[in-house]
Structure 1
Amino acid sequence: MDFNVMRTGRAVLHVTDLEASRAFYDALGFIETASDDENIYFRAIEDFAHHCLHLKLGDIPAVETISYKVGSEECLDELHTLFVDHDRNVKWMEKGTQVGIGRTLRVEEVSGMTIEFYFEMEHVERMMQKFHLHKGAKVQRIDHFNCAVPDVDKAYDYYIHELGFKCSEFTSIKGSEHIWAAWLHRKPGVHDVAFMNAVGPRLHHIGFWLKDPMSLIDCCDYLAAAGYRDSIERGPGRHGLSNAFFLYLRDPDGHRIELYNGDYYTGDFDNQPIEWDLDDPARQTFWGHEAPDSWFNEASTLLDLNGNVVPVSEPKLAKIKPNTII
């Protein structure tokens, strides 16, 4: 069944120092829509919706939920029926209980992550032509989530066969029938969510779209000049997988942000997934340089529907890092 999941929508992150987080995301070029003593709501330059990133003051860095926009209120009810029928824990968040967003459905999905679906979000001013306010990376919009899960096959099967996602690219291991990582989409780009084999469930990163590759360079210059040089974890570079330019950053609490531009159209019905071998050195970085160990080993803690830390488990596939010879 197609539940008309449209795209990646927003993330809700817990941070331990709201002012430090405000300064960091402001340096990337996010627009602050609203805030109070315990919350900041950021949007990107193209957004007419209230926010794509909600930062909440918390005791520990954690991910409260990642969210997807759907095409109607009825889709929320249909998704509720699906998850209840599959014995998943669910929670309605009624309109008025969260700032800027309507009724939402939160679910502990098949990998144990708390995900959220919504239709309605308050409209605000687009900032596309407020060029005097554009700075840092000039972030345009939210693009995707990347999730570390212990069983990629299970996540892949559920999102493809139950939620109506499609696969653009995937990574396999020679001699194995299992998928090591998969890039799944609803919008006609490379992905709205990716799953990769790792200790999990955890959130590896949130990807944000930039207007052009030069914005990655502008961001590096801006961050270095503003005192955030140590926040740059990986890149800039070009992925083989997705063909996109990338820059990975760590915010003050260690949440990983990818700045991203340049993937390709996947909307044709007969678009076929591209397969990569895990040990292909062009897969993760087309230009050849390796990702640091932190990129494979570190990710953000998730919270369940009751606000408790989600326990993690070892991945089904023992191999969690490519063998890459430079």
Structure 2
Amino acid sequence: MPVPTHIFDPPFNIIRCSHAVLDVVDLGKSRAFYENTVGLHVEDADDKAVYLRGSEEHQHHSLVLRKASTAACSRLGFKVGNDGDLDKAASFFSENGIAYGFVDQPFQGRTLQFTDPAGFQLELYASMEKRPHLLRRYDLYKGCHPQRLDHFNVFAPEVQNTVNFYARLGFRLTEYGEEDGPNGRIAAAWMHRKGNVHDLAITNGKGPRLHHIAYWTPTAMNILHLCDVMASSGYLKNIERGPGRHGISNAFFLYIRDPDGHRLELYTSDYFTGDHDHEPLRWSLKDPRRQTLWGAPAPRSWFEEGSPFAGQAVREPAFVADVTIAD
């Protein structure tokens, strides 16, 4: 299938992925997991929501946990360049028949929420309350010392259409997995705005669903330390995959599940992609190094389970990719 052309003058300017809003059933249990085990910092909290961030982040939050009756992904957030980009985005959505609306969100400036053509529920904002970063507050470090939100990965039932939509918004393709042969289909794509491997990864599967959110850690040793922490604090079974290294993105990784089953990746060691003529890297679906350069193959749950978007019906994928699954 065709690889999209980079668009350098998109209809509005998305800077980077910013935050995720997850619905959780037991707010206290989820807070304890993310704060004490993973090591995110709680910035504000009440009986309805908890706002957390990484130690490098100046923004008020990069993860919001909302108390709900059912676990789901509520929204994924992106930061835009300025307030005018929100108006440009609204015009673009109106012209293209995309549902949207301006809303008030705590600690954020004017916020534009929309549902993209694939059914992913997103929000855009230009300004958020600032906090001093905690990078040098080593006395506050816990867990794997997560520094910043790095990316989202989603299950999309129509990968090519979803890739094409985000390419229109200026997302650049860095790596992709494709079937072999003249009519090979793209089964997964890694797209960025901020100059690393991805802000958004789009994976073939039942969707729209969230596969995972990912936080950057300082070193691989921080990820290994989290394995020790989880093994000794009652969360050994929450380790789903890894540690290991992907061929795609070159990332050292660990995948874990929170108390509601939301998947979190701890991630480090990808690379710079900011040059305007950076060419995307193609991976054959038959190349096992793309998923696992080294380490155990991914379990079935990693391919099949994800967090639905609240209120969105989940659709079967347009095709089933041939992937390697651990026994």
User: 2: CA distance between counterparts of 1:208 and 1:91?
Assistant: 29
2:5 counterpart residue number: none
**TM-score of the pair, normalised by structure 1:** 0.95
Is residue 195–residue 272 contact of structure 2 (8 Å, CA) maintained in 1?
yes
Structure 1 runs (4+) greater than 4 angstroms displaced: none
User: 2: CA distance between counterparts of 1:78 and 1:122?
Assistant: 23
- 1:174 equivalent to 2:180? Answer yes
Is residue 279–residue 324 contact of structure 1 (8 Å, CA) maintained in 2?
no
1:55 CA drift (Å) = 0.5
Secondary structure, aligned partner of 1:112: coil
Residues 301, 324 of structure 1: alpha-carbon distance in 2 compared, 3 angstrom cutoff: closer
Is residue 89–residue 108 contact of structure 1 (8 Å, CA) maintained in 2?
yes
Secondary structure, aligned partner of 1:284: coil
User: 1: CA distance between counterparts of 2:101 and 2:139?
Assistant: 42
1:318 CA drift (Å) = 2.1
User: 1: CA distance between counterparts of 2:97 and 2:274?
Assistant: 32
1:98 CA drift (Å) = 2.0
Size of the alignment, in residue pairs? 316
Is residue 28–residue 138 contact of structure 1 (8 Å, CA) maintained in 2?
yes
2:21 counterpart residue number: 12
1:31 counterpart residue number: 41
1:145 counterpart residue number: 152
User: 1: CA distance between counterparts of 2:259 and 2:324?
Assistant: 31
1:45 counterpart residue number: 55
User: 2: CA distance between counterparts of 1:325 and 1:217?
Assistant: 21
Identity %: 43
User: 2: CA distance between counterparts of 1:180 and 1:232?
Assistant: 25
Kindly provide the amino acid, as one letter, of the partner of residue 298 in structure 1: E
User: 1: CA distance between counterparts of 2:251 and 2:259?
Assistant: 25
Secondary structure, aligned partner of 2:248: coil
Q: List alignment gaps of at least 5 residues for structure 2.
A: 1-8
1:278 CA drift (Å) = 1.2
1:71 CA drift (Å) = 0.6
Kindly provide the amino acid, as one letter, of the partner of residue 169 in structure 2: L
1:288 CA drift (Å) = 5.1
1:174 CA drift (Å) = 1.4
Kindly provide the amino acid, as one letter, of the partner of residue 9 in structure 1: S
Kindly provide the amino acid, as one letter, of the partner of residue 143 in structure 2: G
User: 91, 94, 100: which is aligned to 1:90?
Assistant: 100
1:306 counterpart residue number: none
Please give the root-mean-square deviation of Cα atoms over the aligned residues, in Å.
1.3
1:323 CA drift (Å) = 3.8
- 1:132 equivalent to 2:139? Answer yes
User: 1: CA distance between counterparts of 2:301 and 2:58?
Assistant: 35
User: 1: CA distance between counterparts of 2:154 and 2:38?
Assistant: 22
2:303 counterpart residue number: 296
1:44 CA drift (Å) = 0.6
**TM-score of the pair, normalised by structure 2:** 0.94
- 1:71 equivalent to 2:81? Answer yes
- 1:12-43 CA-to-partner distances (Å, cap 9, x unmatched) read 00000001101100111100000001110001
- 1:225-284 CA-to-partner distances (Å, cap 9, x unmatched) read 111111100000000000010000100000000000000000011110000011211110
